[in-house]
Amino acid sequence: MTSTRSSARSGTSGDAWELAARAGFAVSGALHVALGIIIVRIGLGAGGEADQGKALSGLGHSGPGTVLLWVATAALVALAGWQAADAIRGTETADRAKAAGKAAVYLAVAFTAASIAMGSGSSDQDKQAQGFASTLMQAPGGPLLVGAIGLGIVAAGGYHVFKGATRRFERDLRSPSANEVGTGVRWLGTIGYVAKGVALGAVGVLFTYAAVTADPDKAQGIDGAIESLLGVPGGPVIVVLVGIGFAAYGVYSFARARYARM
């Protein structure tokens, strides 16, 4: 490993790419805070759609909003590129796979932001999930593919819960000291990862259910997952707590923009 590589992984290189990638964490944080507020409102019965595209489209109705969308797009692309580079340069298969997955997620959100900035409007993530599942269903062994994806999302959700509960996310921060990264940031990370894991787990269950019933319309995104959580005993309370957790994850992401181990 070169000294430059070591410096970057310690989060101390300070080059333009790193700064742009750190801004991507801040953009992700803002989106999670916005989603968290929407989810809390849904839990309280005020309605709304827990959809990143819809949250982004709220910025795109004015000149300054369009500029912000392009800035957000650039930051997310930089972060996606950084994760892709980690996937290529990594030595551990699991770490490379996680980095590649993160790169794909950030690039997808960047594409959504760019589409809205260009006036294409926001897309419904539930419909996207249904369309994706429907396409896979038509392939040989389609239900098995959809089921495998569902189980993979459930596993990802479980890992988020585990990462939050064990505070393993602290490994993502660069040499944090007790004074530098306070207890508040650690609690935000814990609550945020657990809440996001619950939401991802619900999405995975819906995909798995779509595979079992061979009905792609059962596949849903975050919004559909939140609606499903509303239907379980104590659903509104659970949804409000998940919304608070999403907002906590967003605030944690602002801290991660500064302290992330890059």
Asked if the structure places residue 143 within a domain, the reply is: yes
Asked if the structure places residue 106 within a domain, the reply is: no
Asked if the structure places residue 48 within a domain, the reply is: no
CA distance 144 to 94: 23
CA distance 45 to 246: 18
Q: Please give the DSSP secondary-structure letter assigned to residue 122.
A: P
Asked if the structure places residue 228 within a domain, the reply is: yes
Q: How many domains does the chain have?
A: 1
What band does 6 get if pLDDT is binned at 50, 70 and 90? very low
Q: What is the CA radius of gyration of the chain?
A: 18
pLDDT digits over 58-79, tens only?
666 556 778 888 999 999 999 9
Asked if the structure places residue 109 within a domain, the reply is: no
pLDDT digits over 27-37, tens only?
999 999 999 99
- What mean pLDDT value characterizes the chain? 86
Asked if the structure places residue 44 within a domain, the reply is: no
pLDDT digits over 8-33, tens only?
444 445 688 999 999 999 999 999 99
Asked if the structure places residue 25 within a domain, the reply is: no
pTM of the model: 0.84
Asked if the structure places residue 61 within a domain, the reply is: no
CA distance 221 to 18: 31
Q: Which residues pair with 161 in a beta bridge?
A: none
Q: What is the pLDDT of residue 8?
A: 40
- Residue range(s) defining the domain that contains residue 184: 126-262
